[in-house]
Amino acid sequence: MKVENDFSEQDRILKTFNDLNKYSLEIGIFGSDDSFMAMIANVHEFGMTIRPKGKWLTIPTKEAGDRTAREIPGLFKPRGVNALAVKNKRKQNGRDFTVMFWLVEEVNIPERSFLRSTFDEKEKDWFQFFEKRLNDILLKKLDAKQVWEQTGAMITKDIQNKIRAIKTPPKSGATLQRNPNKTNPLIVTGSFIQHVTWKVVKK
């Protein structure tokens, strides 16, 4: 009696796991997609102190809206007030001017980590999810790239949920004055959260 060993299934499994190592997963906001959003992400993740090139930074008030100082005629600096204002035709709240911009020497944006903090909180869940998908590979339900894609989608969703949940440090008073109904410090228009994504990259 002749016994033959069939290693074809073993070879298939080894090849599949080798395929997993051919890919890597990148998560975040990519500068190649939107350099401005990538910069904003870095500021929120690590915090930053912003200083002016000249003497002052101009912080817009609700009255200024989305306009820059150059777009508002008649601006002047009232005596004793670190602000740029426009003249009123009549006094309002005891003043004959309306502040359009506050003048400050620096702005301190606090750290509001949404990437590192999510990894700290969810890393074990992600590994468990990944391990379960390996069984699907063995059962030929998924291939290596699909496992990475599903893992990337899960991680991205968790990061986006973290952004939605962040409440502290809160927005500054000046920022809240402009958008009093939007208290989440990382969400204004929703564009930032939509830029969080993943890429499966072949090594």
* pLDDT tens digits, 39-98: 999 999 999 999 988 899 999 998 998 899 999 999 999 999 999 999 998 776 668 899
Mean pLDDT score across all residues of the chain: 87
* pLDDT tens digits, 161-195: 999 999 888 878 777 777 777 778 888 777 889 99
Quick one: tokens of 24?
A: 């890597």
Quick one: tokens of 74?
A: 């008649």
Contact 158, 122 (CB under 8 A): yes
At residue 8, the pLDDT reads 62
Model confidence at 159, pLDDT cuts 50, 70, 90, reads very high
Instruction: Please give the DSSP secondary-structure letter assigned to residue 153.
Output: H
Quick one: tokens of 197?
A: 């994504």
Q: Provide the sign of the torsion angle of the four alpha carbons 119, 124, 125, 126, taken in this order.
A: positive
In angstroms, rounded to a whole number, what is the distance separating the alpha carbons of residues 55 and 38? 27
Most confident range (mean pLDDT) of 5-19, 26-40, 58-72, 112-126 is: 112-126
Residue 198: CB atoms within 10 A of its CB come to: 20
Model confidence at 148, pLDDT cuts 50, 70, 90, reads very high
At residue 139, the pLDDT reads 78
